[in-house]
């Protein structure tokens, strides 16, 4: 967007005039060898992503939560099937990811230790940034230590535009940036906005969850020229998608900067794993796409896919990026391998969505996301449901405040390419007492476009 490009360029010029522009200078490491081995279907390693064992003391502490029971130790199998993780593609245990991490550790240890702007940035980090930029159809990308730090860096860089253009004084209210945030956005977005708002660099507005009429009302009532809308793409606790096509229409009408957190959509959605923007065919309409490498990528880290001008601003003013040690080389090498495997083993995405459809067919519920949120109400009910899952051999963590509002406690279920159809069938059997056709318990499952 021309207006925002001009604002960022002006902020960059102000930084350059004060010799405050920063850039990463990669330390050269030998590139990885031949592409990693990939496979036409699931292997025995996939089970390692979903088969876990709880420490016995931890297991019985969990079973005792809520104050119920006879006080005698129950005989419950410590081996569980994990249905509460975020490793959607099942890549965390893939041989290619393991081998990449091991080889890099053998050759470089953890790699140079320091922030990316000092000595922690290597050619491996650069290769991952280039791969992610290509995946997200963006000009550039900035690798961050976590997805949380990536969102914080974007928000602080946004706020700094107001301060830089105010030239040494506190920006007046009409010079600040108006940020419009979905009510259910991730904590990292909320905390980033709160930080820059306290510094009197932005003014924030919260719109009702996925309510485009409310958002447009707020946009049309706001006289501030610099507007930003930020939203999760796939909401982690409810499993619904942001209405990206409607947001794009509003973007064209009001000229705001559109920032999304595609943490749960990356690699999961779209033919190529480009995320929710690829799914909804609006990649060119997303200005900044934040993501994580700790979910479907199966590794660790965060990233910001954006234009080169935005990258220059964020790496110069994004405090959580500037003041954090860069990711270790073995982690970055494993990410590079995971991105390659995701491109080659497309069947993994197909398996995820077949699982979604299978779960829907078994429960007769309108499930269209690999995140399934079964709201049971009180904390007591959620703990009881969690204990039922444990006794049935499943790790499904009850989600309680402050993660969700009071009286909306839930079982959050996530489906992975590493699960089998039998896993899902047995899970549904165990869930039967908690499904609406058996008990009068409200269940919130938000339909979304496949």
Distance of CA 439 to the CA centre of its chain: 33
Instruction: Quick: pLDDT tens for 202-217.
Output: 999 999 999 999 999 9
- C-alpha to C-alpha distance for 310 and 290, rounded to whole angstroms: 12
- C-alpha to C-alpha distance for 368 and 358, rounded to whole angstroms: 10
389: phi > 0 → left, psi -120 to 50 → alpha, else beta; which?
Answer: alpha
Residue 92 dihedral angles phi and psi, to the nearest 5°: -60, -25
- C-alpha to C-alpha distance for 141 and 154, rounded to whole angstroms: 12
- C-alpha to C-alpha distance for 266 and 320, rounded to whole angstroms: 22
Cβ atoms of residues 85 and 416 within 8 Å: yes
Cβ atoms of residues 98 and 54 within 8 Å: no
What does the CA dihedral 313, 316, 320, 326 come to, rounded to 10 degrees? 110
Q: CATH fold of 97-344, please? A: 3.40.640
- C-alpha to C-alpha distance for 265 and 283, rounded to whole angstroms: 13
Between the CA of residue 271 and those of 84, 246, 260, 274, 277, what are the distances in Å?
25, 21, 19, 7, 11
> Using the 8-state DSSP alphabet, how is residue 47 labeled?
G
pTM here is 0.93
Domain segments of the chain as ranges = 51-82+346-434, 97-344
pLDDT at 435: 82
Structural tokens at position 18: 């004060």
Regions of the chain short of the pLDDT cut 70: 66-73, 436-450
Structural tokens at position 365: 């519920």
pLDDT at 220: 98
Task: Decide which of 3.40.50.2300, 2.40.30.20, 3.90.1150.10, 3.40.440.10 is the CATH code for 51-82+346-434.
Answer: 3.90.1150.10
Instruction: Quick: pLDDT tens for 173-209.
Output: 889 999 999 999 999 999 999 999 999 999 999 999 9
Starting at the edge strand that comes first in sequence, how are the strands of the sheet with 177-182 ordered? 140-144, 302-306, 288-292, 257-261, 227-232, 177-182, 202-207
């Amino acid at each position: 967007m021309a207006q925002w490009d001009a604002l960022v360029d002006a902020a960059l010029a102000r930084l350059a005039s004060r010799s405050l522009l920063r850039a990463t200078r990669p330390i050269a490491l030998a590139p990885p060898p031949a592409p990693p081995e990939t496979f036409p279907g699931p292997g025995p390693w996939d089970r390692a992503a979903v088969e876990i064992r709880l420490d016995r003391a931890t297991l019985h502490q969990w079973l005792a939560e809520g104050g119920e029971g006879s006080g005698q130790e129950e005989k419950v199998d410590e081996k569980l099937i994990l249905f509460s993780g975020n490793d959607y593609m099942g890549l965390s245990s893939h041989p290619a990811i393991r081998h990449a991490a091991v080889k890099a550790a053998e050759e470089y240890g953890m790699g140079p230790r320091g922030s990316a702007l000092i000595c922690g940035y290597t050619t491996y980090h650069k290769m991952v940034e280039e791969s992610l930029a290509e995946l997200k159809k963006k000009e550039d990308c900035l690798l961050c230590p976590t997805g949380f730090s990536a969102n914080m860096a974007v928000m602080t860089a946004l706020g700094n535009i107001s301060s830089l253009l105010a030239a040494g004084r506190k920006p007046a209210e009409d010079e600040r940036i108006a940020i419009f945030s979905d009510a259910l956005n991730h904590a990292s977005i909320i905390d980033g906005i709160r930080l820059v708002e306290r510094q009197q660099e932005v003014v924030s507005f919260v719109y009702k969850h996925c309510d485009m009429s409310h958002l447009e009302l707020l946009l049309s009532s706001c006289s501030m020229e610099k507007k930003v809308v930020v939203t999760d793409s796939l909401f982690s606790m409810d499993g619904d998608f942001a209405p990206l096509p409607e947001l794009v229409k509003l973007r064209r009408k009001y000229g705001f900067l559109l920032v999304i957190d595609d943490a749960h959509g990356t690699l999961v959605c779209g033919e190529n794993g480009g995320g929710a923007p690829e799914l909804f065919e609006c990649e060119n309409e997303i200005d900044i796409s934040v993501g994580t490498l700790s979910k479907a990528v199966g590794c660790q880290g965060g990233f910001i896919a954006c234009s080169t001008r935005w990258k220059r601003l964020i790496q110069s003013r994004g405090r959580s990026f500037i003041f954090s040690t860069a990711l270790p080389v073995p982690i970055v090498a494993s990410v590079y391998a995971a991105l390659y495997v995701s491109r080659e083993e497309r069947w993994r995405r197909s398996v995820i969505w077949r699982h979604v459809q299978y779960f829907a067919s078994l429960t007769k519920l309108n499930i269209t996301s690999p995140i399934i949120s079964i709201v049971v109400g009180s904390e007591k009910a959620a703990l009881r449901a969690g204990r039922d899952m444990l006794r049935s051999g499943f790790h499904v963590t009850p989600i309680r405040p402050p993660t969700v509002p009071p009286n909306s406690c839930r079982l959050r279920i996530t489906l992975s390419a590493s699960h089998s159809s039998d896993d899902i069938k047995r899970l549904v059997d165990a869930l039967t007492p908690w499904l609406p056709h058996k008990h009068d318990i409200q269940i919130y499952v938000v339909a979304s476009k496949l």
